[in-house]
Structure 1
Amino acid sequence: MKIDGWKERLASAVQASGKSLRAISLAANAGPGYLFSVLNDGKDPSVEYLSRLCEALGVSLSYVLYGVNITPETERLMRLAEENPEARANLIAILERKPG
């Protein structure tokens, strides 16, 4: 994984959770030392395991990867925009308009 800052955001989520690395690893159905290896030994997790860690921490995968939480509404908007290119282009034009 080559996304800048993801490990720092993951570590911050771990700290905010108040849970041990071991407890989070086990909650993610990984080995007890898995999260320690990711944070301290340079192990790169698969997307599947990173997703499980995020779920165990109660944070979104998009937040850890990109620093942005995607709400259900935003996810719905993205899905609809992907399904309809013309509507997507119109929406982009609306959102790019300068107010006033």
Structure 2
Amino acid sequence: MRSFRKHLDEQMKDPKFRKAYNEEKKYIELAVKIANERNRLGISQADLAKKASITQQQLSRVENGANCNVQTLVKVCSALGLRLKVDREGKKSTHAR
């Protein structure tokens, strides 16, 4: 793990890499929050997808951090009893609570 951290630190010196990394990190953090909440509630992807009126495949993409539209995110968050919040950078970024 040490060599990965060292490699990442080196790559983060490149502004283009750092920007892309930080953008991807936001998607992954949101995806993890959604998946964790679904698991905490003890419901399957299929059940949540049905409740959110989306396909299980769409939900899988959301939980894997894939690019999706805001409408899909709102449906998933609403079905989980979460809200989607947008803040300025420097504060907490777009996230589900």
What TM-score, normalized to structure 2?
0.55
The alignment partner of 2:67 has SS state of coil
Question: What RMSD, in angstroms, separates the aligned Cα atoms of the two structures?
Answer: 2.5
| Among candidates 54, 62, 67, match of residue 85 of structure 2 | 62
Aligned residues: 66
Stretches of structure 2 that go unaligned for 5 or more consecutive residues are 1-22, 87-92
Distance 1:46 1:10 in 2: 15
Q: Percent identity?
A: 23
Stretches of structure 1 that go unaligned for 5 or more consecutive residues are 70-100
In proportion to residue count, which structure has more strand?
2
Partner of 1:46: 69
If you compute each CA radius of gyration, which structure gives the higher value, 1 or 2? 1
Contact 2:62 2:73 in 1 (8 A): no
Q: How far did 1:32 drift?
A: 2.8
